Structure 1
Amino acid sequence: MSDKGPISIDAIRAARAAIDPWIVETPLWAWRSPTLEALRGTDTPVWLKLELLQRAGSFKSRGALTVMRTLDADALARGVTAISAGNHAMAVGYAARVLGTTAKVVMPNNANPGRIEGCRRFGAEVVLVADVHAGFRLVEQIAADEGRTFVHPFEGPLTALGTASVGLELIEQTRALGTELDAVIVPIGGGGLCAGVAAAVKLAAPGCAVFGVEPTGADSMHRSFAAGAPASIDAVRTIADSLGAPYALPYSFELCRANVDELVLVDDDQLREAMRLLFRDAKLAVEPAGAATTAALLGPLRDRLAGARVGAIVCGSNIDETTFFSLLADQPGR
């Protein structure tokens, strides 16, 4: 067992190899441009880990597959269930399809229409509810009544092992290009991505700082760090619905607390501006959560990481065209 938590490099490699048939090693892209140079005050590139190009459109497939590939034949026959604003639901639908089982996913009724349709394209049955709190109650009922395995959106050792492969790939890809990162920025919803990535980064590159970023309207990990224990929020109030977990939970919280150097917050205006920049300058169409690390780098971390060699996780891009362009059109403060 590592002193950074119950994750090791060997365990990450084994988990990554086990899901290799169904995922891709997403590209690492060195973002260089006059616009970025002016905003950062340095010509040092930002290394973007493009998880938006992962199967089902986000990093979530790594965790879902790592969990679901361990199910026995009886569990696969009964199927799985999940709760999500979209990315995890899509990942579970995708994983169910490639593993030969069925998925019944619960989503808030204000979930992005593109994600709801994406789940259905993978063959998942979609049940809409009023909010994520109601969704968590319903998914537990579905698991009890139908015998489906509940695939948690962010909690547990297998989920963290799956997401840790993102962090290990990032470090190894940058090293292959002759770069040692000074810092990695990771978005936080429930904390499953950050838990795995942070643990992997600290194992593979102990001197690399890890920063977690949350929206101001979904700051459960900030509250948890302040309380010293997993905490909750009463409602999600951010355009980054993919980062809108209602609470933190013990396993991912403890891994984050052990391996994350600092948490920062970004607001919706900063997320929109980062989306615009990524679209105009990096030619990437991302959902708000996918812009969170850029928003942090050019906002609360700008001075701290001036000139630093930074890796940023672009976690997903499951968003329909209408919503995407309406968010870009919104002006600050609206």
Structure 2
Amino acid sequence: MVGPDLDEVAEAAELLADAIIETPILPLKSARWDTVLPDCASVTLKLELFQQTGSFKARGALFGLRGLTDDQRRVGVVAASGGNHALAVSWAAKMAGVNALITMPEAVDPARIAGCKALGAEISLHGDMAAAFAAMYAAADAGRTIMHPYEAVHMILGAATCGREYALQAPEIDTFVIPVGGGGFSGGMAAAIKQMRPETHVIGVEPMGADTLWRSLAAGSPQSMPEVKTIADSLGAPFALPESFAVAQAYVDEVVRIEDHDMLRAMVQYQEILRITAEPACAASLAALTGPLSDRVAGRHVGLIACGSNISLTRYAELMQAL
């Protein structure tokens, strides 16, 4: 079997229950959504942006930190991230009393750097995401334990607890639309959802400029991006990796791609209707539903996820200038 089974997911959820929030769901059925949404039977949004540290990443990060050996705890951990995973690992490391080094791209939102430092993490900045990953592996060579943002059993299991939770909260949903970074989140969520309800359809969403999983599924093996170019830094994985790819390949039914301007439009819709200041990745599910999926979901019960929202007002305003 590829990925976690339902017993493992349930056990992980129980182990995290003391610290992880069961995030709420919201039916998008007010009159203000009528001119935005396509003709679905229903649309539900899971507000995972209300999770610890503002994203789903807290689930897997805490699960991973709690699984360290004593020797690993003494040396510390390292993680490469453009923001959400960085904050999650910083928080989980503080909870566990473990030193964390976070390697980040230089262009990351300064608010995310400040957030990690406030949680006690050490930060090193690098030219781009690929360079940040290289620095992570170098720190691992020096002894630190890698807290990988997606290629790790604990991250896939953490995502699976979110999928299980959502499926239990909204049993009517027959189509889930999930943002894709490296594939661990979409694959983990899909693994739980599809085992619980095999008839559901799970759709991953990637930016055109970071369509690593789309390329990998088309090729039948993990692929690398020649260049990542998207405003959604949380979705900007430069390569797919074997374990997370295998889980996504097994359970994600398809991947659709969206443009950056689709996410910007969805960010505005969240702000105007729900007063949510969404980062681009947070808006990806809505962008896909109102974009490439709009003519395919008639009569369907659709589940979206607002996966995280760690963005400064300064960065948000900068992005809005592109509209």
| Bin of the TM-score, shorter chain as denominator length | over 0.9
The alignment partner of 1:101 has SS state of: coil
Q: CA deviation at 1:41?
A: 4.3
- Is 1:148 aligned to 2:144, yes or no? yes
Which position in structure 2 is the counterpart of 1:98?
A: 95
What is the alpha-carbon distance in structure 2 between the residues aligned to residue 164 and residue 68 of structure 1? 17
Deviating more after overlay: 16-25 vs 265-274:
16-25
1:284-299 aligned within 5 A: 284-299=276-291
Q: Which amino acid aligns with 2:26?
A: W
Which position in structure 2 is the counterpart of 1:317?
A: 309
Q: CA deviation at 1:260?
A: 1.1
Q: CA deviation at 1:35?
A: 3.5
Is the CA contact 2:181–2:206 (under 8 Å) kept in the aligned structure 1? yes
1:63-142 aligned within 5 A: 63-142=60-139
- Is 1:30 aligned to 2:27, yes or no? yes
Is the CA contact 1:182–1:308 (under 8 Å) kept in the aligned structure 2? yes
The alignment partner of 1:233 has SS state of: coil
The alignment partner of 1:40 has SS state of: coil
What is the alpha-carbon distance in structure 2 between the residues aligned to residue 294 and residue 94 of structure 1? 28
The alignment partner of 1:213 has SS state of: strand
The alignment partner of 2:123 has SS state of: strand
1:208-247 aligned within 5 A: 208-247=200-239
Is the CA contact 1:37–1:44 (under 8 Å) kept in the aligned structure 2? no
Q: CA deviation at 1:202?
A: 0.2
Which position in structure 2 is the counterpart of 1:173?
A: 169
Is the CA contact 2:38–2:295 (under 8 Å) kept in the aligned structure 1? no
Name which of 245, 251, 260 aligns with 1:259.
251
Q: CA deviation at 1:325?
A: 2.3
What is the alpha-carbon distance in structure 2 between the residues aligned to residue 212 and residue 188 of structure 1? 6
Structure 2: stretches of 5+ with no match in the other structure: none
What is the alpha-carbon distance in structure 1 between the residues aligned to residue 102 and residue 152 of structure 2? 19
What is the alpha-carbon distance in structure 2 between the residues aligned to residue 104 and residue 29 of structure 1? 36
Q: CA deviation at 1:158?
A: 2.1
Name which of 191, 194, 199 aligns with 1:202.
194
What is the alpha-carbon distance in structure 2 between the residues aligned to residue 43 and residue 289 of structure 1? 22
Name which of 8, 12, 17 aligns with 2:9.
12
TM-score scaled by length of structure 2: 0.97
Q: Which amino acid aligns with 2:97?
A: G
Q: CA deviation at 1:132?
A: 1.3
Q: CA deviation at 1:98?
A: 0.5
Q: Which amino acid aligns with 2:19?
A: W
What is the alpha-carbon distance in structure 1 between the residues aligned to residue 296 and residue 156 of structure 2? 28
- Is 1:164 aligned to 2:160, yes or no? yes
For the aligned residue pairs, the C-alpha RMSD in angstroms reads 1.2
Q: Which amino acid aligns with 1:328?
A: M
Is the CA contact 1:80–1:149 (under 8 Å) kept in the aligned structure 2? yes
- Is 1:40 aligned to 2:32, yes or no? no
1:38-75 alpha-carbon deviations (Å, 9 max, x no partner): 23343744211111111011101111112121111221
What is the alpha-carbon distance in structure 2 between the residues aligned to residue 226 and residue 207 of structure 1? 23
How many residues are paired up? 323
What is the alpha-carbon distance in structure 1 between the residues aligned to residue 41 and residue 218 of structure 2? 33
Q: CA deviation at 1:96?
A: 0.2
Q: CA deviation at 1:255?
A: 1.0
Q: Which amino acid aligns with 2:254?
A: E
The alignment partner of 2:210 has SS state of: coil
Structure 1: stretches of 5+ with no match in the other structure: none
Q: Which amino acid aligns with 2:176?
A: V
Is the CA contact 2:40–2:298 (under 8 Å) kept in the aligned structure 1? no
Q: CA deviation at 1:9?
A: 1.2
Q: CA deviation at 1:109?
A: 0.3
Which position in structure 2 is the counterpart of 1:58?
A: 55
- Is 1:248 aligned to 2:244, yes or no? no
Q: Which amino acid aligns with 2:147?
A: V
The alignment partner of 1:138 has SS state of: helix
Which position in structure 1 is the counterpart of 2:298?
A: 306
